[in-house]
């Protein structure tokens, strides 16, 4: 989901909420404010996306390390070691 999709979803939810509560008169101002603050919201969206990417990268590293343990280690306890790596229970 890209930024425009997220923003459109937010707008739709605002429209529904304002109409449900009988605040249709204020809706245009709220939507205009949302549109005026779009560049600022985009900064927050990008920061959140980058934050999640770091988490994804860390999880991928754990998976890669666990697979490497299982592929190159013939010891009986390698599945347990791989599980510890996946959980992040390493003592590096």
Q: Domain span at residue 90?
A: 52-92
Same domain, 27 and 59: no
pLDDT at residue 38 tops 90: yes
**Among residues 44, 38, 89, which one has the least CA distance to residue 62?**
89
pLDDT of the residue at 65:
85
Same domain, 25 and 59: no
Same domain, 31 and 57: no
Same domain, 62 and 87: yes
Tell me the mean pLDDT in the region 46-73: 84
Tokens of 7: 């923003």
Per the model's pLDDT, the better-predicted residue between 36 and 65 turns out to be: 36
pLDDT at residue 92 tops 80: no
Tokens of 80: 């347990």
16-to-9, 43, 76 alpha-carbon distances in Å: 11, 26, 58
Judge whether 6 lies within some domain.
yes
Judge whether 46 lies within some domain.
no
pLDDT of the residue at 3:
93
Same domain, 58 and 89: yes
Total structural domains within the chain: 2
Tokens of 29: 């101002």
Judge whether 81 lies within some domain.
yes
pLDDT at residue 77 tops 70: no
Q: CA-CA distance, 82 to 68, in Å (whole number)?
A: 9
């Amino acid at each position: 989901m890209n930024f425009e999709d997220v923003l459109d979803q937010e707008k739709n939810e605002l429209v529904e909420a304002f109409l449900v509560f009988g605040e249709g008169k204020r809706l245009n101002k709220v939507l205009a404010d949302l549109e005026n603050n779009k560049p600022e919201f985009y900064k927050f969206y990008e920061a959140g996306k980058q934050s999640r990417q770091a988490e994804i990268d860390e999880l991928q590293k754990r998976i890669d390390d666990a697979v490497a343990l299982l592929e190159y280690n013939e010891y009986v306890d390698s599945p347990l070691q791989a599980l510890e790596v996946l959980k992040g229970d390493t003592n590096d």
